[in-house]
A and B are shown apart, each in its own frame.
Chain A
């Protein structure tokens, strides 16, 4: 068992996991937000991420350092999200959540196709030229770009929480999340709140995307893993538990990394989903003792 042969790998796996997890966490924030506030599961999440990545990549192609792509990605997706809300999403807000899943699925495959037409189907990546850092005389290797993206996503995450706490819009969003009708009565323009919530979500995805562009590779059709994981993270954290998202995001990342060592990389997604099912069943069985159920 390699993890025992090379004990340093455990630490290595942990760190790698945390760094992957941080990006997923950032995406999950958006999802948790939209889910909690509008009761919509946004399946297009992954596509937003990749699109954000392509924006950064486009900037990089102009010969600008990809770091400066981050604001562009964020803004572009923010605007796109706002538009999409005004055109499509608002129609499904108060409908059955299942409807929203399908609607956003429709959006996602459209975006895929458009990305394929605009950016082509080449596998792309944006080079940062950041170096690598070695710890414990070369036993631990960290790509600086990953560390960078880790820091950025953590900052982003904290920024979101802070924003929710202090800003006027943030408070409006929180109020709406707790009780939309009450908020409406108290004069909150929930439509506006929804629109911005969705836009912010898209923006966050965009930001995460530009990190992905720097850290991993881009392809119009690899959005799914991001959707899937952010999904998991939110479920584990439990709805409306914004701070918990960060924890469960990092945790999941680490867990996944270890699973890659223990049961093999090809099982990553399978593992995640089995885990999801097990968690759900376990929780429902526990509630069943109290004669309640997950709802």
Chain B
């Protein structure tokens, strides 16, 4: 009994000592940013994209001379934890990053659910968090002061798709299937607004389970009811499963819109099955934005591919952008005081390869539109908004019998 107690007192002591020698916000010439991303669990795919985005951003900034504060240059360094795609874990890890590792500048996790879980923590400690993957609208209505999102909120994802449909056909019918999670449900909110505004009719409204690997039931209904527009949102799993089974069942719908197509690389992995699908994206390499670090979107894509051997999905791009935002804010604040940095962040108004970034009162980047691309024989071509369109929308999608 005593022995055991002793061992664990000492064990605790060890943990304790570890924390004391854990590095604070700025060590020597390093600025430490903290991030809990999903390296495992159901969001691992996009968690990985996010992490790579962050790493690339830090790498480039450091190579370009790092961050200049008070005449001294600092390197950016990121301390990661794995939140296992689990909200409880994410919140706990945020606590740990701030309290034990003394991190004072946070980067967001992947996914709305996890960001929602972390935001209360960062608020509580007044630690600024620039997040690149939490799109849920709920994030921007709680009056958070330290939360800054470089991306558009989820309710804007597929709106333009619905509008496109409206242009093509009066009072069209819509079928939709959304995963039961913070992000997808929010996308749904936006879609519903547009659907009402355009006087469309929803004929199928399915909810997908979180461990989804089968959408047959939905697709069979679609076959039966023949809607004009099919909308699917369920992160990468949803996109992959959806396209796969649409192909298997030869489901003919004039227009199909999804999220996370590029994260799941449906244009490559499904042997043409993904063609003609409309995809919502925060960013696309063909967009003509520029900055002095990554150059144009195309350059970013080339760089990313040269390191990670695949085309950067927007999850990576927006993550890299988050670091640019931080660098710029540090230099404007010219201080490491987290409140000064926070105010600097609030002032942000910059151009990046990823697009203009300017936060509104709620910390949301409003100056950048969503884009919509369509997979056209294996390539993702932007089709909306018209300003960026590099190809014409193909409508209706040719029947499987003619493909």
Contact = CB atoms under 8 A, between A and B. Distances in A.
B42 A257 contact: no
Contact of B40 (A113, A132, A224, A264): A113
Given A2-B221, A125-B269, A217-B237, A266 B40 contact: no
A269 B207 CA distance: 13
Given A121-B40, A125-B244, A266-B180, A16 B269 contact: no
Contacts of A122: 45, 236, 264-265
B211 interface: yes
13 contacts: A6-B225, A9-B220, A12-B220, A120-B48, A121-B48, A124-B240, A132-B249, A141-B223, A146-B248, A216-B214, A219-B237, A224-B211, A269-B209
Contacts of A267: 209
B250 A141 contact: yes
Interface size class of A (residues with CB under 8 A): 35 or more
Interface in A91-112: 112
Contacts of A257: 216-217
B15 interface: no
Given A143-B245, A261-B217, 10 more contacts: A12-B220, A116-B44, A121-B45, A123-B240, A143-B248, A215-B248, A217-B237, A220-B44, A225-B211, A265-B207
Contacts of A16: 216-217, 220
A146 to B, nearest CB: 7
A179 interface: no
Contacts of B264: 122-123
A115 B113 CA distance: 25
B44 A268 contact: no
Given A112-B40, A265-B208, A266-B209, A5 B48 contact: no
A264 B204 CA distance: 11
Contact of B240 (A6, A8, A217, A261): A217
B66 interface: no
B187 to A, nearest CB: 16
A143 B209 contact: no
A281 interface: no
A127 interface: yes
Contacts of B269: 124-125
Interface in A1-36: 2, 5-6, 8-9, 12-13, 16, 20
10 pairs of A and B residues whose beta carbons are closest in the complex = A121-B44, A143-B248, A260-B217, A6-B224, A266-B207, A123-B240, A132-B250, A121-B45, A123-B236, A266-B209
Contacts of B221: 2, 9, 261
A222 interface: yes
A216 to B, nearest CB: 5
Interface in B214-256: 214-218, 220-221, 223-225, 236-237, 240-241, 244-245, 248-250
Contacts of B143: none
A146 B219 CA distance: 15
Interface residues of B, number: 43
Contact of A221 (B40, B265, B273): B40
Interface string B46-80: 01100000000000000000000000000000000
B171 interface: no
A257 B269 CA distance: 27
Interface in A112-146: 112-113, 116, 120-125, 127, 129, 132, 141, 143, 145-146
A127 B248 CA distance: 10
Contact of B248 (A145, A265, A269): A145
Contacts of A116: 39-40, 44
Interface of A: 2, 5-6, 8-9, 12-13, 16, 20, 112-113, 116, 120-125, 127, 129, 132, 141, 143, 145-146, 215-217, 219-222, 224-225, 257, 260-261, 264-269
A264 B250 contact: no
B41 interface: yes
B234 to A, nearest CB: 10
A221 B41 contact: yes
Contact of B213 (A9, A129, A143, A216): A216
Contacts of B215: 265
Interface in B193-218: 206-209, 211-218
A257 B245 CA distance: 15
Interface in B142-156: none
A227 to B, nearest CB: 11
B270 interface: yes
Nearest to B40: A116
A222 B221 CA distance: 25
Contacts of B85: 221
Contacts of A6: 224-225
B307 to A, nearest CB: 15
Given A123-B45, A132-B250, A265 B240 contact: no
B271 interface: yes
B42 A221 contact: yes
B210 to A, nearest CB: 8
A113 B40 CA distance: 7
Contacts of B40: 112-113, 116, 121, 220-221
Interface in B240-288: 240-241, 244-245, 248-250, 264-265, 269-271, 273
B241 A217 contact: yes
Interface in B175-190: 177, 180
Contact of B207 (A112, A123, A215, A264): A264
B64 to A, nearest CB: 30
Nearest to A144: B248
B209 A141 contact: no
Nearest to B180: A266
A225 B220 contact: no
Contacts of A123: 45, 236-237, 240-241, 264
Nearest to A20: B214
